Amino acid sequence: MFGRSLMIKSDEEVALLRESGRLVSLVLAEVGRLVRPGISTLDLDRRAEEFIRDHGAAPGFKGFHGYPATLCTSVNHQVVHGIPSSKVVLQDGDIVSVDCGVILNKYHGDSAFTFQVGDVAPEVKDLLEATRASLFEGIRFATTAWRMGDLGSAIQSYCEERGYSVVRELIGHGVGTRLHEPPDVPNYGRRGVGMKLKKNMVICIEPMINMGVRDIYQGQDGWTISTRDHKPSAHFELMVVVGDKEAETISTFSYIDQILN
């Protein structure tokens, strides 16, 4: 269905994806402003949907394969796809991965950030820092000089050198008028292997990194993915345009960083 030409976006499409990337970044910052002990993940979800609609866009996840919410909110040992709930109230010391999608002018934005709730244990902070840094390691390889295996290998080696493990079953993806498009963007790989990256591919790079074993399982709700050993997991995601000399990152954590600092 998607030939190479459809993986490569026109400059007009990239411009639209930039707008979607900016909006999803603003939503995550708005959510980050609210993250604190005592708030439920459903409260975060409601605010995110309101913010998205106020900006003339629609939630990108709601209804996707029947997914019921605007955000995925995955707490502590949950890796991704946690469903927001009034029963999930954030506690001091938790971490919560917030993954958000928007559709603006038919183009998807998709990004994620793992927030600290109150006072988080130093080893968990280290996991968050390493996961975020590994995403930027991957972004360095999102140029036409490299193959997908180089990008994945950069993320994997950064994390494994620090004693963490990389989830295999869930990966990054191309993004456009659909949330998930080719190419696949694994967070692991072998150098020199895989598809050559092409200018104007727009991809979501999203390492999911575990403190313990890499193994995961799906919960009985049919969505929530958790670590097999119930040790913490972190998840950061940005949208990136492949360039000749360097990648252009079209979603950003800078609004989040402004709010948290």
**Binding stretches for Mg ion (CB under 5 A):** 99, 110, 112, 204, 237
Task: In angstroms, give the least distance from the CB of 99 to Mg ion.
Answer: 4
Supply 185's token pair.
């963007």
Which of 89/195 has CB closer to Mg ion?
195
Which residues touch 66 (CB under 8 Å, ≥6 apart)? none
Taking CA atoms, 241 is separated from 59, 126, 147, 234, in Å, by 22, 28, 14, 23
Residue whose C-alpha is closest to residue 125's, from 154, 155, 100, 94: 94
DSSP string, 72-90: EEEETTEEE-PPP-TT-B-
Task: In angstroms, give the least distance from the CB of 148 to Mg ion.
Answer: 16
Task: In angstroms, give the least distance from the CB of 110 to Mg ion.
Answer: 4
Task: In angstroms, give the least distance from the CB of 112 to Mg ion.
Answer: 5
Task: In angstroms, give the least distance from the CB of 245 to Mg ion.
Answer: 25
Which of 90/240 has CB closer to Mg ion?
240
Which of 66/122 has CB closer to Mg ion?
66
Which of 94/237 has CB closer to Mg ion?
237
Which residues touch 142 (CB under 8 Å, ≥6 apart)? 151, 197, 203, 205, 240, 241, 242, 243, 247
Which of 14/102 has CB closer to Mg ion?
102
Which of 154/175 has CB closer to Mg ion?
175
Task: In angstroms, give the least distance from the CB of 175 to Mg ion.
Answer: 7
Supply 90's token pair.
């954030």
End-to-end distance of the chain based on CA atoms, in angstroms?
44
* β-strands 216-218, 58-59 pairing: unpaired
Task: In angstroms, give the least distance from the CB of 34 to Mg ion.
Answer: 19
Which of 63/192 has CB closer to Mg ion?
63
DSSP string, 40-109: BHHHHHHHHHHHHHHTT-EESSTTGGG---SEEEEETTEEE-PPP-TT-B--TT-EEEEEEEEEETTEEE
